[in-house]
Amino acid sequence: MAIFPARAAGLAADPNSTNAIMTDIPKEKHVFQAEIRQLLDLVVHSLYTDKEIFLRELISNASDAMEKLRHLEATEKAVHDPGLPLEIHLTTDEDGKTLTIADHGVGMTREELVAHLGTIAHSGTKAFLQAAKESGGSPAGLIGQFGVGFYSAFMVAERVEVFTRSWRPDGEELVWTSDGEGGYEVGEAPGQTRGVKVVLHLKEDQLEYAKEYRVKQLVETYSNFVGFPIFLNGKRINEVEALWLKNKADITEEQYKAFYQFAGKAFDDPAYRLHFSADAPITINALVFAPSENPERMGFGKVDGGVALYCKKVLIDADPKGLLPEWLRFMKGVVDSADLPLNISRETMQDSALVRKLNSVISKRIIRMFEKESADDPEKFRGFYRKFERFFKEGVVTDHANRDALAKLLRYESSLTDPGALCGLADYVSRAKEGQEEIYWLGGPNREALDSSPYLEAFRARGLEVLYFMDVVDEYVADSLREFEGKKLVSIRHAGVEMADHEAEGEALDAARTEALCAFLKDELGDKVTTVASGKRLVDSPVIALVPTDAMSPQMRQMMKAMDENFKDEVKVELEINPRHPLVKKLAAASESDPDLAKLVARQVFDNALISAGLLEDARDTITRMNQLMERALG
């Protein structure tokens, strides 16, 4: 079994098999102390959420060892075999049921094998980092801090061999062997080059890790951006660089695109990107992208978060809860920090307050990026917004800290825009009439229905712009936002909307006849209406039904009924009449000359108003009455 790539790949071939080394050379036997055995059992069975984490830990250890070697080459006069390439080599052997991880790092002496591998939580990396700091220098990129990552190997291996040769010129060539239970052995192993080679003899139920495709999958998931080349069976597999740590000026558009597609497992092109570094509250390097397609919009269901958390280029969590607000789950990319306070298994952050701070810093940066992009290229942003508007609206409703900033990104059609064109709330405010203290909106199923709505007549006549809410969630958004730049969001369906007088065309009923007609209508309609009165709302329509401020919109009512077939929402309306409309004048006359006909017309006109308001639940009486009216009209 070839467990180490040949010298041609930068590594020396083993002249003897592993088993020969194990059986032919005497070894020192060591017994784990009782508390060490207990701690090892904890590491193997309880510490890590997923067994597959073991490979991330071993690759991280190899990376650390080579970072240390880089530092030593700059500070020490003599390093054994300085020409060896700093690479990580993985070798799978399905027949031999092994996985090998090899590096050309600092290696270990006999004393270091005992100290680092024979004592759990005695972190060589941590001790080395401390010594480096005390000597005035600190190598970058060291990952391990707790000294337990190596022992994750026993989650998948029944026996582990560690072949090593120290960087020191007089270093021995050694092998450390253990089954992870009673103890370990240390012996000589001639033929080793500088560094460490870990051979995992896999358990019968963990043989998937001897398969090349599975190991490749794990490297791409957890360790792809480690700062050294990683080879699997002689072929390099981590060619996508950690672009978030590079200078933006040194990165091409093609590199950004390739990184986005790799990190986000995406096939489209990114629409926008944000590449930034920050020093507070901790050091952050981030590269995140907004995709050009929205899977949720295409019916794929709710997507998982796409921004992964890294620590020193090693994946900590692919979907860290709380790192970004839920509404930003469509974003893809990487957030990396060398200062993350991780738990001992390096799978989650320990400081929830710090997570909230990171959330605040990153989400605000993303929102500012969208603001800038929307200003720089409004047309492009409108196209993007059409696909992702639900996320921004969700953010307004759920993300209180960023609500005002997100409101600037909302886009709507309005009574003053061309069909299909969108405007922002800031655009609306800039066009508002002098003294106008409200932002008016009207909900409806489509542009055609809204353009022809009787609710719009008075506002159009006065030149007042009305936003069109054609998404069922827009009402939630308005209720959550309530105001923008000091102006309240007001539905024009609601009663109580004040507006200036407007000189309308045509002669109106006099005050006495108007009052009499209103009393007639109130008597006929009874408790279906709270009031009947003449008003300023109408120009071309005879009557309008105004709903209370706490009443649901038609879209909201339809959604609630779809969710609950037993949903009931009895709404009593205010009926407003147009005393200039010919039908209203004739109804006033009929109420005196032909009360029976007037009653039929009154109920029909009222149902028409309910239909316009989206409040008519049952049209059977309306149809029967309409037939009666047509019969009478035809004599």
Question: Which uninterrupted H or E stretch holds 106?
Answer: none
Q: Are 233 and 92 in contact (CB under 8 A)?
A: yes
Which tops the pLDDT comparison, 571 or 507? 507
CATH superfamily of this structure's domain 511-633: Heat shock protein 90, C-terminal domain (1.20.120.790)
CB neighbourhood size of 584 (10 A):
22
Residue 363 φ/ψ, nearest 5 degrees? -65, -40
Residue 291 φ/ψ, nearest 5 degrees? -70, 170
Tens-digit pLDDT profile for residues 559-595: 666 676 676 667 788 999 999 999 999 999 999 999 9
Q: How confident is the model at residue 312, as a pLDDT? A: 84
**Cis preceding linkage at 378, omega within 30:** no
Question: Where would I find the H helices in 236-351?
Answer: 253-263
Give Cα 384 distance to the centre of its chain: 16
- For the chain, the domains span 7-236, 243-379, 410-491, 511-633
Structure tokens at 620: 């059977």
Measured distance CA(335)–CA(358) in Å, rounded? 10
Tens-digit pLDDT profile for residues 262-316: 999 999 999 999 999 988 667 899 999 999 999 888 777 888 889 998 888 888 8
CB neighbourhood size of 596 (10 A):
9
Ramachandran quadrant class, 342 (left: phi over 0; alpha: psi -120 to 50; beta: rest): beta
Structure tokens at 373: 């992009």
Domain 410-491 class?
Answer: alpha beta
Q: How confident is the model at residue 365, as a pLDDT? A: 96
The closest of 342, 272, 280 to 310, measured between CA atoms, is 342
Extract the runs of DSSP E, i.e. beta strands, from 381-510.
411-414, 423-424, 438-443, 466-469, 483-484, 487-491
pLDDT for residue 481 is more than 70 = yes
Mean pLDDT within 195-215: 97
Structure tokens at 233: 């069976």
Task: For domain 243-379, say whether CATH 3.30.230.80 is its number.
Answer: yes
pLDDT for residue 349 is more than 70 = no
Q: How confident is the model at residue 479, as a pLDDT? A: 92
Range of lowest pLDDT (25-34, 264-273, 377-386): 25-34
Range of lowest pLDDT (46-60, 102-116, 246-260): 46-60
Q: Are 286 and 244 in contact (CB under 8 A)?
A: yes
Same fold, 243-379 and 511-633: no
Q: Residue 507 carries which DSSP code?
A: P
Written as one letter, the residue type at 253 is E
Q: How confident is the model at residue 572, as a pLDDT? A: 82
Which tops the pLDDT comparison, 423 or 116? 423
Mean pLDDT within 24-30: 78
Mean pLDDT within 21-36: 70
Measured distance CA(235)–CA(326) in Å, rounded? 39
Mean pLDDT within 203-223: 96
Question: Angle of helix 595-613 relative to helix 620-633, nearest 10 degrees?
Answer: 140
Tens-digit pLDDT profile for residues 141-169: 444 544 578 888 999 999 999 999 999 99
Strands of 543-546's sheet in order across: 529-534, 573-577, 543-546
Q: Residue 548 carries which DSSP code?
A: P
Q: In sequence order, what are the residues at sequence separation of 6 or more whose Cβ sits closer than 8 angstroms to the Cβ of residue 590?
A: 597, 598, 601
Task: For domain 7-236, say whether CATH 3.30.565.10 is its number.
Answer: yes
Q: How confident is the model at residue 456, as a pLDDT? A: 92
pLDDT for residue 17 is more than 50 = no
Range of lowest pLDDT (88-102, 308-322, 448-462, 588-602): 308-322
Q: What's the burial of 111, exposed, middle or buried (CB within 10 Å: 0-12/13-18/19+)?
A: exposed
Ramachandran quadrant class, 326 (left: phi over 0; alpha: psi -120 to 50; beta: rest): alpha
Q: In sequence order, what are the residues at sequence separation of 6 or more whose Cβ sits closer than 8 angstroms to the Cβ of residue 93?
A: 1, 2, 3, 99, 100, 210
Range of lowest pLDDT (61-70, 71-80, 343-352): 343-352
Question: Which uninterrupted H or E stretch holds 530?
Answer: strand 529-534
Q: Are 103 and 65 in contact (CB under 8 A)?
A: yes
Q: Which residues of 329-352 are buried (b: 16+ CB within 10 A; e: fewer)?
A: bbbbbbbbbbebebebbbbebeee
